[in-house]
Amino acid sequence: MAGRGWTAAMEGTGADAVSQPVPAARKTMRLDRVFWSHFSPNLGPGGWVTGVLLVHLGLDARSGLLAILVGNLLGAVPVALAAAIGPRTGLPQMEASRRALGRAGLRLPAFLNWIYCIGWDAVNNVPAAAALIALLALGGGGLPFPLALGLLAAVQMVASIYGHHVVQALQKYLGGLLLVVLGAVGVLVLARTGGVPAAAHPPSVATFVLATAILASFNLSWASYSSDYTRYLPADSPPGRVVWLALAGLLGSAIPFQLLGLLTAGGIGEASPTAVIGSLQHGAGPLGPVVLAAIALSSITGNSVNDNTASYSLISAGIRVPRVAAAIVTAGLGYLLAVAGAGRYADLYTSYLVVTLYWIAPWIGIVLADWYLVGRRDGESDPPGWTQGATIFLVTAVLTIALFSVSDLYTGPVARLLGGADIGYYVGFLLAGLWYAAAARASRPALATTGTLP
């Protein structure tokens, strides 16, 4: 059972721990955990890299700051709204979407989310393992990359085997430590190497839109995780407080570290985790080893969440295996992907991860429209098959990828007309959500809304 403080209790080990609501007697999570579960996974080099990327795209300090504020708000608000679904349903985020997609329609996005989590697992662990190796080298030790990666992956796997309660504890206690360390290092590096290079010319509208889309995706990518870490809250938890705590966590980790990346970009050669880690280590001076240790540890907060959510998603995709087995399989595949792709880090992962966000936007648009705009009648059960909502999700995802996507793999015709501006996330979210709400209300005109915030 989850307690009100730290607990090492294991979450339910069977598939029912995912597919069935959390019993009321076990919904004892503290409300402050909502902040930490949305704050700590973003601690690491990713936010800093994103801030550096803005300068490489051609933004100056003013336009970069505006993009950071606008992009993060656009990406974080849907995630925070999704967090309020967990207490009422007692279900993980993917499983809760069966309200709109049906139990059969849920399987495709759940499977995509499982793959997505494995990809992020590998992405986070490659720079973390490199930092761990560099840290040990400072003391005269040596560690092969596969072994360093394996040590990190093993800790993350154990956390995901224990499940929700241990993952939540890591977010609060390890996340709090990382906040202090990375915040202090960030201020030190800014004082030593701060400075935004002047842009050669004012950034174009297309460049600014592309930058805000990248920043929005940084937070929007957590939409498929959100209520995984609020479902153990009591059902009567105030929805407004849940939303605001989640929003504060997301913005509180993303904006400051992206801003530090923007302001120190002049001393960083390229927008890559390796370059950022090297610059942070050098800029921190005698605290360089602390930087390396913090980056290695940061992968544990992020990937314990990835592995745990992935294990939920595999079960929601229709693979009825024990939750523990799903966690082990997920962590193992993430390890293998990281080992296989470490030498081609950017080329292998970047395009894949950007393209996969095109399914998240329409999916969360439908989920939020169902919860806040459509609602349901008392006693109405989740549809068993493939619903109209599942069709809307599939059609919208395919259309936005075909027309709007921008990546090394493929650029859609609308994106080319817009000079490379990526607006597919926004189009997918709005189109799917409004289409679903209109279709649902047309078929159930007398329905009263149940999900509205007080």
241-283 pLDDT tens trace: 999 999 999 999 999 989 988 888 777 767 667 777 877 787 7
Please state the length of the chain: 454
Question: What is the band of 355 on the pLDDT scale with cuts at 50, 70, 90?
Answer: low
More confident residue, 88 or 187: 88
Q: Does the pLDDT of residue 214 top 60, yes or no?
A: yes
Q: Which amino acid is at 282?
A: H
When pLDDT is averaged across residues 146-166 and rounded to a whole number, the result is 93
With 0-12 CB in 10 A as exposed, 13-18 as middle and 19+ as buried, what is 145? Answer: middle
pLDDT of residue 198: 63
pLDDT of residue 1: 35
pLDDT of residue 271: 66
Lowest mean pLDDT among 171-180, 291-300, 349-358: 349-358
Q: Are 6 and 66 in contact (CB under 8 A)?
A: no
Q: Does the pLDDT of residue 125 top 80, yes or no?
A: yes
* Three-state SS letters, the chain: CCCCCCCCCCCCCCCHHHHCCCCHHHCCCCCCHHHHHHHHHHCCHHHHHHHHHHHHHCCCHHHHHHHHHHHHHHHHHHHHHHHCHHHHHCCCHHHHCHHHHHHHHCHHHHHHHHHHHHHHHHHHHHHHHHHHHHHHHHCCCCCCHHHHHHHHHHHHHHHHHHCHHHHHHHHHHHHHHHHHHHHHHHHHHHHHHCCCCCCCCCCCHHHHHHHHHHHHHHHHCCCCCHHHHCCCCCCCCCHHHHHHHHHHHHHHHHHHHHHHHHHCHHHCCCCCHHHHHHHHHHHCHHHHHHHHHHHHHHHHHHHHHHHHHHHHHHHHCCCCCCHHHHHHHHHHHHHHHHHHHHHHHHHHHHHHHHHHHHHHHHHHHHHHHHHHHHCCCCCCCCCCCCCHHHHHHHHHHHHHHHHHCECCCCECHHHHHCCCCCCHHHHHHHHHHHHHHHHHHHHCCCCCCCCCCC
CA dist 196 and 255 (Å) reads 16
Q: Are 78 and 364 in contact (CB under 8 A)?
A: yes
Close Cβ partners of 50 (under 8 Å, ≥ 6 residues apart): 214, 215, 218, 258, 261, 271
Q: Does the pLDDT of residue 209 top 90, yes or no?
A: no
Share of the chain above pLDDT 70, in %: 88
More confident residue, 157 or 380: 157
pLDDT tens per residue, range 370-393: 999 997 655 567 888 899 999 999
CA dist 160 and 306 (Å) reads 9
pLDDT of residue 378: 53
Q: What is the DSSP string of 241-307?
A: HHHHHHHHHHHHHHHHHHHHHHHTGGG-SSSSHHHHHHHHHHHTGGGHHHHHHHHHHHHHHHHHHHH
Tokens found for residue 36: 């930490």
When pLDDT is averaged across residues 92-101 and rounded to a whole number, the result is 94
pLDDT of residue 200: 56
Which of 431, 433, 419, 376 lies closest to 205 in space, CA to CA?
419
- Domains annotated on the chain, with CATH: 29-345 (1.10.4160.10)
More confident residue, 67 or 50: 67
Give me the chain's average pLDDT, please. 85
* Three-state SS letters, 412-431: CHHHHHCCCCCCHHHHHHHH
CA dist 61 and 73 (Å) reads 18
pLDDT tens per residue, range 290-345: 888 988 898 999 999 999 999 999 999 999 899 999 999 999 998 998 888 665 55
Residue 451: helix, strand or coil by DSSP? coil
Tell me which range, 34-48, 104-118, 121-135, is most confidently predicted by mean pLDDT.
Answer: 104-118
Question: What is the band of 359 on the pLDDT scale with cuts at 50, 70, 90?
Answer: very high
pLDDT of residue 277: 80
pLDDT of residue 322: 92
Q: Does the pLDDT of residue 365 top 80, yes or no?
A: yes
Q: Does the pLDDT of residue 431 top 80, yes or no?
A: yes
pLDDT of residue 127: 84
Question: What is the band of 6 on the pLDDT scale with cuts at 50, 70, 90?
Answer: very low
Question: What is the band of 353 on the pLDDT scale with cuts at 50, 70, 90?
Answer: low
When pLDDT is averaged across residues 156-178 and rounded to a whole number, the result is 92
Q: Does the pLDDT of residue 350 top 70, yes or no?
A: no
pLDDT of residue 138: 85
Q: Does the pLDDT of residue 53 top 90, yes or no?
A: no
